[in-house]
Copies of this chain bind each other. A is one copy, B any other.
Amino acid sequence: MIKIIILGAGNVGTHLFRNLNNSKKTKVVQWYNRSLDSINKYKKEVAVTNQIMDLKEADVYLLALSDDVIPEMAKQLKHLNGIIAHTAGCVPMSILNESNNYGVFYPLQTFSKNRDTDFKNIPICLEASNESCYQTLFKLASTLGNNINKVNSEQRLGLHTAAVFVNNFTNHLYQLGDAICQEYNISFSLLKPLIKETAAKIETMTPKDAQTGPALRNDKNTLQKHQDQLFNPDIKNLYLYLTESIQKNNE
């Protein structure tokens, strides 16, 4: 039984609590948040606190905090015996190096509070200050799922950057698609099967092999027709920029 204390009650902290508290192999012994408001409703299930000095003993302290809060929190936790691990994509592990045992426990997924997250297939990226610490984090990750990966701080930052392209930027393209549909009085739902298939294709093909469309074919006639449809100059510029990028990267 791995004893865990979660610090933070944002999307990641909340999803970690829900999943770790339902496992037989882990016990969340305490949940810390700066404000008690967001965790008070869980106090029948877990001890809650907003005081660092009241933190109990645990095997792992999971810091599900925003990036800029982690360094200061790390300083306040250095007296603790358990492993101090943050869950951030962009923060190097070394920020925690005043503790004896530390590491990173980074689940690579987009979390929304109102949407259940099944950790089973979520890649969990681990890094640790020593082998025994890594083993404990690995055991902890195994209680959630099977997709566990050793990823160092530099790789994790690269991964986080790549994730912005396939998640934040991709979702923004969905938003622009929605905006174009609204302009032409068409339902965005017409695009949903295409969005699903576009994502499904790369399960079995590389993105390079899956690329299609007028930019790739350099079909000037169609490219021009599309540009003529785009009345918003910013969206049109983005169209030109992405078209150029497709052509440059697929010569």
Contact = CB atoms under 8 A, between A and B. Distances in A.
Interface of A: 67-68, 90, 108-110, 112, 115, 121-123, 125, 147, 149, 151, 154-155, 157-181, 183-188, 190-208, 210-216, 219, 221-222, 225-226, 229-230, 234-235, 237-239, 241-242, 245-246, 248-249
Give the residue among A155, A165, A174, A186 with the most B Cβ atoms within 10 A: A165
B203 A192 contact: yes
A165 B207 CA distance: 15
Contact of A110 (B67, B212, B216): B212
Given A68-B221, A159-B184, A229-B161, A194 B171 contact: no
A194 to B, nearest CB: 5
B158 A194 contact: no
B161 A180 contact: yes
A139 B180 CA distance: 29
A115 B112 CA distance: 32
Contact of A198 (B167, B178, B215): B167
Contact of A108 (B172, B180, B193, B208): B193
Contact of A123 (B193, B205, B234): B193
Given A201-B115, A234-B248, A206 B178 contact: yes
A108 to B, nearest CB: 6
A211 B67 CA distance: 19
